[in-house]
Structure 1
């Protein structure tokens, strides 16, 4: 929301696309444990979707209509903290799995994924700045 409020439509559009891709992959992780049980009702999935996506919708509206430099800095800091937490947890998982399988943690696949992610990040930044 803040990107659109600042007139950064390209950035806002890329953020929406990025969050959409992220939420699709995250949805599998949320739905998989639920599907182990009996087939849940549609209302159950609707409630999970609201729980997972509702705060993002609310945050977009608040950021678009009530922009504040202070709140922007605070929420960006919270976002950075969340990203660092994910990086930490994925790193621990990677090390634990490599120790269990007795394979190097820095494999070609892992390095390729990291490199592809960085390349996508820079290409996105170039497209947003154009």
Structure 2
């Protein structure tokens, strides 16, 4: 984790769990997030800075325990190589505030399994999101 991220301005209304996820790059426990089963229409925003990140129509059920999306809103994310747990993964962060969102995985077969337009899964912590209805 960069010192830059630690020294960023954080929304004072964030909960302790949201700070742990967004600022300190923790992962919420699987199957506990507020938005895991949300099927309402709207936009998912960064819980810290309110930047729009995902449209609800790109969300899908992957069974992984966290909200999954196959596509972000253009120019909303920053991608970083994460080798923190003995494997290489791609971390996704809010491009505006650098808040940690989760990780992205490719080549799992979602395009064939669910007929999605892309074979990609953005595995996102609910704690890093704020949902706004259409």
Determine which structure has the larger helix proportion and give its number. 1
TM-score > 0.5 by shorter chain? no
TM-score (norm 2): 0.21
Determine which structure has the larger strand proportion and give its number. 2
With a CA cutoff of 8 Å and minimum separation of 6, indicate the structure with the bigger relative contact order: 1
Please identify the structure whose Cα radius of gyration is greater.
Answer: 1
